[in-house]
Homo-oligomer: A and B are copies of this chain.
Amino acid sequence: MSEAGNPAIEFHFDFISPFGFFASLRIDDLAARHGLQADWRSMLVGVSILKVMGMKAIPATPLKGDYVRREAERYCRRHGISLAREFVSPPSNPLVAGRTFHWTRRHHPDKAKDVARALFSAYWLEGRDIAELSLALDIAQACGLDRQALAAAHESGEAADLLRAAVDASLAKGVFGSPYFIVPEAVSINRPCKGTGEPFFGVDKMELMEEWIAARGW
């Protein structure tokens, strides 16, 4: 449940995932069309895909890497998005961004999406390195947060603990990629028996997810 009391679609993403970025540009409008909230939660594909699933990173996977690059470019052309970063370029270390997001989500939940959007934008539209703590602090400050408090949370390990707990929680729900959505049971009343909400993986499942929501599941 969101603060507003409406059921929320969980939106799981990694800042270094282009498809997570693409989804971030649409998920709130999609939720709002159905009177729902979107509950943003960053995760780490470096943990889920590389460690838990034992797979390679997608750009390094033979055949699939080339295909997914073309798919990302096709998506950008269609949606009028100009990325400042190559799909295949080495990613930033996403820990500082994830820690910043989850600290914000815990202490200033009303600012969490602003921070996430600014981090996504800095990384994908401006080509900046979100591994830099100074950038994360600048973004947080620009969003109206207390720069010193956030710096202290990075220094003390509190922000790292919050991210670690969030990643563990996402894995426990089966979240393995970015974006990954979970439609709550309260919406899926025609398919109530699972007890887990209904999962949708991938930006190209957003249309199907919207049909699911409109139909209340099947």
Chain A positions within 8 Å of B, measured between CB atoms, are 48, 52-56, 61-64, 66-67, 70-71, 74, 77-78, 171, 174-177, 198-199, 201-202, 204-205, 207-208, 218
A67 CA / B218 CA spacing, docked (Å): 16
Q: Are B52 and A54 in contact (CB-based, < 8 A)?
A: no
Contacts of A198 in B (CB 8 A): 74
The listed residue (B54, B55, B67, B171) touching A201 by CB distance below 8 A is B67
Q: Which of B54, B62, B78, B171 contacts A53 (CB 8 A)?
A: B62
Known A-B contacts A78-B218, A205-B204; the reply to A199 vs B55 at CB < 8 A is: no
Question: Contact at A208–B218, with CB atoms within 8 Å?
Answer: no
Lowest 9 CB-CB distances: which A-B pairs, in order? A63-B176, A53-B62, A64-B176, A63-B174, A52-B62, A77-B218, A78-B218, A53-B61, A55-B55
How far is B171's CA from A78's CA once the two chains are assembled, in angstroms?
A: 27
- Do A54 and B62 touch across chains, with their CB atoms under 8 A apart? yes
